[in-house]
Amino acid sequence: MLDFFTIFSKGGIVLWCFQGTGVTESFTGPVNALIRSVILQERSGNNSYTHDALSLKYKLDNEFELVFVVGFQKILTLTYVDKFIDDVQLHFRDRYKNELEQKGARTLLSSCFAFEDDFKMLLCEAEESSKARGPTSMRSFNASLKSQKTVKSMIETKGGDKGKEQGGKKNKNAKKEGKELHILIKSCLVVQGMQLSSMKGDLLAVDYESSEEEEEDVVEKVVVADTSKQIPKRGAYGGMFGMLKGLVGSKSLSQEDMEPVLDKMRDHLIAKNVAAEIASQLCDSVAKKLEGKVMGTFTTVASTVKGALQDSLVQILQPKRRVDILRDVLEARSQRRPFVITFCGVNGVGKSTNLAKISFWLIENGFTVLIAACDTFRAGAVEQLRTHQRRLNSLHPPQDDRGRPVVQLYEKGYGKDAAGIAMEAIAYARNQDFDVVLVDTAGRMQDNTPLMTALAKLIAVNMPDLVLFVGEALVGNEAVDQLVKFNQALADHSISDKPRLIDGIVLTKFDTIDDKVGAAISMTYITGQPIVFVGTGQTYNDLRSLNARAVVGALMKA
């Protein structure tokens, strides 16, 4: 039933593995995909992962830095896998601990770890228990709770309404207390704004200033205030000894220890504009990453959880692959073809404006640009791009650039096929030796099926080098819906087996959100793609690259 089971350290050393009967394919491909896409990307909140025809389940042992992975065909429904992987972990870690103490790390890693008999015994027990349970039979009506209901029990009484009102008042008071606590935390922190410098050819990074010491002090104060309300257990230390016991790393972290801190962190992320679903997944991932880990000396649960969450957020914002447009344009120029970038997104997010900013940045770096006006729906779209073209050419007169305009506009008016215009523009740019083609598309809502089909056709026919999604930094939960449906539409309407999806993100209106930078986390978490550009104003040089650590610092401010 199982295709494989492997146990390896977080350093990448395979300690033991099992391969099912008749399985010839190696399990290194699925396991490497799991490591790259889930474990390294801090997406371990869910313990399952699908790779081609295989379904993988995994468990992390943070105390001994071990990873347990089991793989089986996804068409199978194996109900015993979760309990089985827990049992294997408990048995293996006991053996691993004993042999580590007896032989030492170097001798243990160089020798073969004998676990075959124990594994087969546990697998047989798990399969037998699954067969013994069997399918559950449906209850009869008389055995259900519905049969015990009477007409009288379904009639609302005045007393019931009163109780409901009292319950509502209680919830309202609880919300009020939570709000007061949030205001108290917020009043303790000093929020400092962004400091941005002007762009001169090269792209600068968005930066924030933060006082990390003050943030840590406030978190510690909140934790102390919360723990002081708990009823002390029998035999607990008091005074100075109790404080030292809370600080010294004397035990491993459990889910119960982290739950109060993670709840506060989750609410904090949602308040900073992170989508609620993403905030929950991030906190679950941090909990799995820390569960069973032994705390360091003189560290608190709050500081440990906060540090792990910060590391996870930085890892998410740092791209899996580097998008270096200047290098890619030079490579395309050596192949005597233009580098094509397509912009897509919903209405009113600033696609045309940021296209003009990117044009200015490319011109400053010595490239010629052709703008393809493929927004054939919105009135004034072509005229807007023509105005940008005229202003950009006035900043870089033709006599300074070999006698021809550095920016040209390719347009065919309104009501035409956008995919055909883009194809003609790319052919024109190839003949006229333009370095870059920027394709402006019509804004469309993610639920508009005809327009999403037209966008998928444009991308599938012209195969641009880069597909950039333009989104606002103001959105919260809506960012998840937009990106999921844009990617889904591109996949559904593609004619290729490997559809072309979104390659990167342009985050606009970043100067209007202060420190509520959660949309950056939501977008990168959903797509796994980097934020390539950040729009920070209304002028052509208000374009920045993303500084992951600075954004995370702003996100963790209260």
pLDDT digits (tens, 9 = 90+) for 125-180: 888 887 766 556 677 767 776 666 666 666 655 554 444 444 444 444 444 444 44
Taking alpha carbons only, the member of 15, 45, 549 closest to residue 288 is 45
- What integer pLDDT is reported at residue 152 of this predicted model? 63
**Beta pairing class for 48-51 and 14-19:** unpaired
For the segment 311-328, the average pLDDT, to the nearest whole number, is 84
Work out the percent of the chain whose per-residue pLDDT is above 70.
75
For the segment 288-307, the average pLDDT, to the nearest whole number, is 81
For the segment 438-447, the average pLDDT, to the nearest whole number, is 88
pLDDT confidence band for 212 (50 / 70 / 90): very low
Tokens of 107: 């001798």
Tokens of 198: 């002007």
Whether the CA torsion 38, 42, 43, 44 is positive or negative: it is positive
Residue 357 pLDDT exceeds 90: yes
Query: Which amino acid does the sequence have at 289?
Result: K
Taking alpha carbons only, the member of 503, 490, 510, 500 closest to residue 532 is 503
Which is higher by pLDDT, 299 or 286? 286
For the segment 202-227, the average pLDDT, to the nearest whole number, is 46
**Cα torsion for 121, 65, 306, 50, to the nearest 10°?**
-60
* Cα 285 → chain centroid: 11
Query: Which residues lie closer than 8 Å to 384 by C-beta, 6 or more apart?
Result: 352
- What integer pLDDT is reported at residue 156 of this predicted model? 57
Whether the CA torsion 318, 321, 322, 323 is positive or negative: it is negative
Q: Got the DSSP string for 201-261?
A: SBPEEP-B---HHHHHHHHHHHHHHHHHTSPPPTT---HHHHHHHHHS--SB--HHHHHHH
Query: Which residues lie closer than 8 Å to 424 by C-beta, 6 or more apart?
Result: 410, 412
CA distance to 106, 223, 401, 445, per residue, from 235 (Å): 42, 22, 82, 62
Which is higher by pLDDT, 230 or 376? 376
For the segment 506-519, the average pLDDT, to the nearest whole number, is 86
Q: Which of 138-142, 298-302, 484-488, 510-514 has the lowest mean pLDDT?
A: 138-142
For the segment 325-350, the average pLDDT, to the nearest whole number, is 92
Three-class SS of residue 373? strand
Which is higher by pLDDT, 245 or 422? 422
- What integer pLDDT is reported at residue 251 of this predicted model? 67
- What integer pLDDT is reported at residue 60 of this predicted model? 87
CA 333, CA 131: separation in Å to the nearest integer? 64
From its phi and psi, is residue 498 left (phi > 0), alpha (psi between -120 and 50) or beta? Answer: beta
CA 447, CA 478: separation in Å to the nearest integer? 12
Q: Are 68 and 86 in contact (CB under 8 A)?
A: no
Residue 539 pLDDT exceeds 50: yes
**Cα torsion for 366, 370, 374, 377, to the nearest 10°?**
80
- What integer pLDDT is reported at residue 190 of this predicted model? 32
Q: For residue 433, give the H/E element and its range.
A: none
Cβ contacts of 360-365, under 8 Å, gap ≥ 24: 360/392, 360/395, 360/540, 360/541, 360/543, 361/199, 361/203, 361/543, 362/325, 362/329, 362/435, 362/436, 363/392, 363/395, 363/396, 363/406, 363/407, 364/199, 364/200, 364/201, 365/201, 365/202, 365/326
CA 375, CA 440: separation in Å to the nearest integer? 6
Taking alpha carbons only, the member of 526, 436, 426 closest to residue 476 is 526
Which is higher by pLDDT, 187 or 483? 483
- What integer pLDDT is reported at residue 353 of this predicted model? 92
Q: Are 126 and 86 in contact (CB under 8 A)?
A: no
pLDDT confidence band for 298 (50 / 70 / 90): low
Q: For residue 3, give the H/E element and its range.
A: strand 2-9
Residue 110 pLDDT exceeds 90: no
For the segment 264-286, the average pLDDT, to the nearest whole number, is 89
Q: Taking the CA atoms of the chain, what radius of gyration do you get in angstroms?
A: 29
- What integer pLDDT is reported at residue 193 of this predicted model? 36
Q: What is the pLDDT of residues 402-435, one digit of tens each?
A: 668 899 999 988 888 899 999 999 999 999 999 9
- What integer pLDDT is reported at residue 98 of this predicted model? 80
Residue 37 DSSP class: I
Taking alpha carbons only, the member of 424, 399, 255, 234 closest to residue 340 is 424
CA 162, CA 92: separation in Å to the nearest integer? 56
Q: How many CA atoms lie within 13 A of 257 on its CB side?
A: 21
Average pLDDT, the chain: 78
Q: Are 370 and 468 in contact (CB under 8 A)?
A: no
Q: Are 509 and 462 in contact (CB under 8 A)?
A: no
Residue 11 pLDDT exceeds 50: yes
- What integer pLDDT is reported at residue 133 of this predicted model? 64
State residue 515 phi and psi, 5-degree precision: -110, 15
CA 400, CA 405: separation in Å to the nearest integer? 9
Q: For residue 114, give the H/E element and its range.
A: none
